[in-house]
Every structure is written in structure tokens, then in C-alpha cells.
Chain A
Amino acid sequence: MLGSIYALVALGYTMVYGILGLINFAHGEVVMVGALVAITAIGVLGPATGLPGPLLLLVALGVSVLACMLLGALLERVAYRPLREAPRLTALITAIGMSIVIQNLAMLAWGRQYLSFPALLPNEPMILLGATVTGTQLIIVALTALAMVVLMGLVNRTRLGRAMRATAQSPALASLMGVNVDRIVVVTFLVGSALAALAGVMVAGYYGQAHYHMGFMLGLKAFTAAVLGGIGNIPGAMVGGLALGVIESLGAGYIGALTGGFLGSHYQDVFAFAVLVLVLVFRPSGLLGERVADRA
């Protein structure tokens, strides 16, 4: 469950990284904005239109996807494009700066408190193949799978996707072949942000709440997932996300028993980090990555 959300967010990191070679620190914050916009949209549209739950959710999702795409494009245009030729350190500093700016603007706009996400979907647990699942969980998994199939199709089957892959390999050569690199970069940010919005709505629905600080840890974990799968590699991000979700849940569940009660499940957040360090030590190119991470 969490795994599929990580996978969606990881896709955003991996796509931007694949094309620009830049870690977009602000990506986690885009997820957060997506969740908060959806909550506001539900709060405003729900009473105004009286739509039934699932339809309302769909509309809110649409609003949030649009808002995030706008934010992503803005981010690229304002913060990253002017620095594309700048030293790598400058771009990294800008990225972390933007992440802080977005987070604090969100805090000013939505406040410090946790906002609750209304339950719009049937949430009775049901038994499926021996496992207990809820409707929300099923929808999360189904939507993630759908999003990934669409994305794979986009990247591998369309002209746009071919241009994206060309740009990832060599922006200079791609532009010689008539690819508008600036446009491709914007499109990448748009697609990544749309997925982030989807993930944001899902994570808010999953936990039933959202707040301005949620993007940080989520972003960190999704990045770990991207590295685990092999950064810059789209199927890798999916595999990495799912694997990380499983590792984290199992780890948090069993750590108490493994350490004789010394460490408890509140160390859940530590797992992602441990995975990140271990992957970087033993297999920096990730599970599915073939490219060497040590590109100077």
C-alpha cells in the first residue's frame, strides 16, 4: 500500500533525475501541496455541489493534479531552468531552498494543524485471498498500477516519450535532432507533478489526514525507493517503491521481536534510511540500474 505510494513519488524523482541529473528536493513538497489542495477542494466543492463521495473525490483529484502541474512547471521555470548551466552545488542549494519555501508557504496558507481527509470511499474491511483489505487500499493499488501502465506507454510508445528518452541520453544531441529540450523538461515536470498529486491524495486518504510537514519524510523515502530501484530508471522506481514499502512494514512489525523489545516500531522511519545507506554501499546503481551512479 505504502509501497505503491512511494513508487508514484519515486517516479517523479527518477524522471527528473534521468533527464536533468538533478535531485528535485522540492518533489516531496509537491506531494504535500497535492494532498492539501484536494482537502480544500473537497471542503469547498462538497457542500456547494452535493456530489456523491466517489465523484467528489475524482473532481478533487483533478483539481489537485492541475494545481500540482502548475506548481511543478513554475518550479522548473523559476528555480531550475536559470541554473541548468550552473555548478551542481548551486542547483542543489536552490532545490533545498525551494522545498523550504513551498513548505512554509503551505504552512502559512493551511496552518500548522493536521487537516483531516474525509472518508469518501467505502471503508469496510473485506477478505481477499486470505488477506484483509479495505476499499481505499484496493483503489490505491489499482490506480497506481494504472498510472504506471499509462506512464510506460507514454515513455516507450509515443513520439513524446521518444523525445524524453533522447533528452535523457544527451540533451545536446536531442536538440540537434529537433527536440525542443526546454519543452521536454517542462513536460517531465508536469508528468512528475501529476503523479505527485495522485500520490498526495492517496496518502492523505490512506492516513485520513494531511499537514504541511508531510512532504519531507515522504520525499526522503521516495528518493530512497528511486535509488533502490536504480535512479533514472522508470521500472526501477516502481520496483524500488514496492520493495521499500514491504521492507518498512515488515521491519517495523518485527523489529521489536528481533531486538528483544529494545527497539520498537517508532523506528519505522529509520528503515528507509538504513536501506538507502546499504544500497549506496553495496549496489549504488540500484536493483535494476545498469548505469553507473558515479558519473562525475
Chain B
Amino acid sequence: MRDPRRLRLVGLALGLLALLLAPFLVDALLGRAWVRVLDLVLLYAMLALGLNIVVGYAGLLDLGFVAFFAVGAYLYALCASPHFGLHLPFWLLLPAAALLAAGVGVLLGAPTLRLRGDYLAIVTLGFGEIIRIFLNNLNAPVNLTNGPQGITMIRPIEIAGVSMARPVELAGLTVPSLHLYYYLFLGFAALALVVSSRLEDSRIGRAWIAIREDEVAARACGVNTRDLKLLAFALGASFGGVAGALYASFQGFVSPESFGLTESVMILCMVVLGGMGHVRGVVLGAALLVALPEALRYTGPLQRALLGSVYIEPSDLRLLLFGLALVLVARWRPAGLWPSPVRRRELAERHAPGGPESAQ
């Protein structure tokens, strides 16, 4: 009885140690650029967990999730850069970003959520594009967003007077800026993970899953479907807003270019590929899809070696592969690469009568 538990504790401790040492190991083995990739994996994991609440739990298709990411990023950029001469503190801007994104989510969700999910998909798709048009054009006559040039010189995050942009000396060990961001993002991603998995087991989480499975039945059982869908939407959006604020300070630069449809699709892909409604699967999806473009870079030299010249730019392949992944996963593995145990059981039951997938 005690042994497995202790084993689990040891495993957990080892995992934690590995996570803490990861940036140093990666830095030593693969180079500084991959530490950056690691940072981005954590950031996107946060985003994907946010979208997972909307798509995975409540079963609402949001195709413009990047809009909330943009809202958070621009809020931080405007309030912590020389653009307006504002330098509000990080701890104030972070909740503000979450609140603002959630507010926008409610505004967008309220008219569409009482209708069928399809409308939400198309409205969010449109909104994702529209927000980019606004960011691009709100530089005249009053310069709000600085248009296509974007906002530069965004102040890095400062915690307890320590700026994250400069290396920190700690007990004789130099911790570079990228490593500092890694730990910050690790903290937030862990928070997102805990919140997500606790939600899944909560009353609210079960109500969401009921809505996803059968909205009419859920309503008949006394679930307030409209409010709960709105809550899922707002909560997911607030994750996006926080991730956006972190992203702005991490990059030191935001421009409308970074918030296109590609990003929305990529985040959706992470959720679908990893396993809708399964927290660990979603994190796996984020790790896979952030690393993929980096790995695709090697196909350029490979093409040259095998075929003599580069026929297809590796960066052109990225979106194509995302699209293919969505179609193939939806067709062959609707529960994702790493499905949640509950979901897998449900799908097995659904296919059970005479189907080849019948589990029992």
C-alpha cells in the first residue's frame, strides 16, 4: 500500500528535477536556440490548455483563439513600453490581461453561444481576422497600436526588482535571461495545468462535458448551458490573455503579424492532435507542434542533399502539415494521440456494436 505511493513520489521528484534542470541541459547539449524553443513550448502549452477548456471540455469550436492572445499581448505592450510612456507593473497588468481577454470573450460569446456551435466557429474565425485588421489600422488618425510596425521596446518583466532581461548571479551560478523566462513560464504553465485538471473533476467540468456530449440532455438535467458555455469561453480566453502578456514581455516586440489565422490553427491543432479534453495530451501536442517547425528546418538541407535543390520551402510546409494533421486525426483518431481514459472508453462504447474497434 505504501510502496506504490512512495514510488510515485520519487517519480514526481525526479520529474520535477528534470524540469528544473532542463534549460541547462538543453543549453549544453543543443544550444541556446533550443532553450528558446523550450520557453515557447511552455507558452503554447498554456495557450493550448486555455483552448482545451473551450474545445476539449465544452465542445465549442473556437477558430480565433489567437485574438485573446493578441488582446493580452497588446495590453501589456501598450501599458509597459515607451509608446504611451506607461510603465505599469507586471503584477497589475497580468490580471488586467486575463480580465480584458475574458471580457472580450464574453462579448463575443454572448450573441453566438445560444445558437449552434457552428456559428461560434465562424464568428470566432471572423473575429480572429478582424482584430488583426484593427491592430493594423488603428494607427491613424490617433496612433493607438502603431499599425503594422508594431510596438517595440516593451519592458521585460521585473519580479522583486530583478529584471528578467539580464542574467542573474545566483550562488555562483549565472542564470541567463532565457532560463529565467523558462522558470517563469514553467510556473504559469504548471498553474494552468493544475487549474485545468482540477476543473475537469469539478462540478463545472462535468457539466461542460455533459454539454459537449449532448446539450439537450444536459439542459434537461438542469445544467444552465448558456452560462456554463460562456464561462468556458471566458476562462479559456483569460488563459490566452495571460499567455499574451507573457509573450509580449518575452519578445519585447509585438506586431499584428504574429496574430494570424496560422497561430489559431496551430493552437487548435495542439488540442486536437494531443487529445481533446485531456490535459496531458494537450501539453504533448503543444510540445510536438512547437518543435515541428524547428525540425522542419532540417528538411531544407535534406532536400538539397537528396534532390539537388530546395523544392519546397520548409516554412511553407508547416501549415499544410497542420491541416493534414487535423483531417487525419479527426478521421482516424478522433480522441487524439494521447486520449483521456474517459474519452477513450466512451468512443469504444460508441463503436462497440459490430465495429472493429469494439473494446469489450
Q: Does any Cβ of B come within 8 Å of A101's Cβ?
A: yes
Q: Does any Cβ of A come within 8 Å of B307's Cβ?
A: no
Q: Does any Cβ of A come within 8 Å of B203's Cβ?
A: no
Closest B residue, CB atoms, query A99? B323
Q: Does any Cβ of A come within 8 Å of B215's Cβ?
A: yes
Chain A nearest CB, measured from B15 CB (Å): 32
Q: In the complex, which of the residues B116, B212, B316, B322 has the most CB atoms of chain A within 10 Å of its own CB atom? A: B116
Q: Does any Cβ of B come within 8 Å of A187's Cβ?
A: no
User: Binary interface profile of B, 222-264, with partner A (CB < 8 Å = 1, else 0)?
Assistant: 0000000000000000000000000000000000000001000
Question: Given A99-B323, A293-B115, do A94 and B129 touch, yes or no (CB 8 Å)?
Answer: no
Does A280 lie within 8 Å of B320, measured CB to CB? Answer: no
Q: Does any Cβ of B come within 8 Å of A185's Cβ?
A: no
With beta carbons under 8 angstroms apart, the residue of A99, A261, A266, A293 that contacts B119 is A293
A79 and B327 CA atoms in complex are apart in Å by 7
Which residues of the other chain, A, contact B268 by a CB distance below 8 angstroms? 93, 96
With beta carbons under 8 angstroms apart, the residue of B212, B323, B330 that contacts A83 is B330
Does A295 lie within 8 Å of B116, measured CB to CB? Answer: yes
A217 and B127 CA atoms in complex are apart in Å by 12
Does A98 lie within 8 Å of B323, measured CB to CB? Answer: yes
Does A100 lie within 8 Å of B111, measured CB to CB? Answer: no
Does A296 lie within 8 Å of B116, measured CB to CB? Answer: yes
Give chain B's interface secondary structure class: helix
Chain A nearest CB, measured from B247 CB (Å): 23
Which residues of the other chain, B, contact A223 by a CB distance below 8 angstroms? 122
Q: Does any Cβ of A come within 8 Å of B301's Cβ?
A: no
With beta carbons under 8 angstroms apart, the residue of B63, B125, B133 that contacts A266 is B133
User: Binary interface profile of A, 152-192, with partner B (CB < 8 Å = 1, else 0)?
Assistant: 00000000000000000000000000000000000000000
Does B115 lie within 8 Å of A294, measured CB to CB? Answer: yes
With beta carbons under 8 angstroms apart, the residue of B129, B133, B134, B319 that contacts A100 is B319
User: How many interface residues does chain A have, given as a range?
Assistant: 35 or more
Which residues of the other chain, A, contact B111 by a CB distance below 8 angstroms? 277, 280-281
A262 and B141 CA atoms in complex are apart in Å by 6
User: How many interface residues does chain B have, given as a range?
Assistant: 35 or more
A92 and B126 CA atoms in complex are apart in Å by 15
A90 and B330 CA atoms in complex are apart in Å by 6
Which residues of the other chain, A, contact B272 by a CB distance below 8 angstroms? 93
Does B216 lie within 8 Å of A296, measured CB to CB? Answer: yes
Does A269 lie within 8 Å of B129, measured CB to CB? Answer: yes
A107 and B324 CA atoms in complex are apart in Å by 15
Q: Does any Cβ of A come within 8 Å of B294's Cβ?
A: no
Which residues of the other chain, B, contact A90 by a CB distance below 8 angstroms? 330, 334
User: Binary interface profile of B, 317-332, with partner A (CB < 8 Å = 1, else 0)?
Assistant: 0011011111100110
Chain A nearest CB, measured from B243 CB (Å): 22
Q: Which of A198-243 contact B (CB under 8 A)?
A: 216-217, 220, 223-224, 227
Q: Which of B46-80 contact A (CB under 8 A)?
A: 55, 59, 61, 63
Q: What would 19 more interface pairs be, CB under 8 Å, given A94-B330, A97-B324?
A: A87-B334, A89-B59, A89-B61, A89-B117, A89-B212, A90-B330, A92-B61, A93-B330, A94-B327, A94-B331, A96-B61, A97-B325, A100-B320, A108-B312, A216-B129, A217-B129, A261-B141, A266-B137, A280-B119
Does B327 lie within 8 Å of A294, measured CB to CB? Answer: no
Does B137 lie within 8 Å of A220, measured CB to CB? Answer: no
Q: Does any Cβ of A come within 8 Å of B168's Cβ?
A: no
Q: Does any Cβ of B come within 8 Å of A114's Cβ?
A: no
Q: Does any Cβ of B come within 8 Å of A149's Cβ?
A: no
Question: Given A83-B331, A269-B129, do A101 and B324 touch, yes or no (CB 8 Å)?
Answer: yes
Does A98 lie within 8 Å of B327, measured CB to CB? Answer: yes
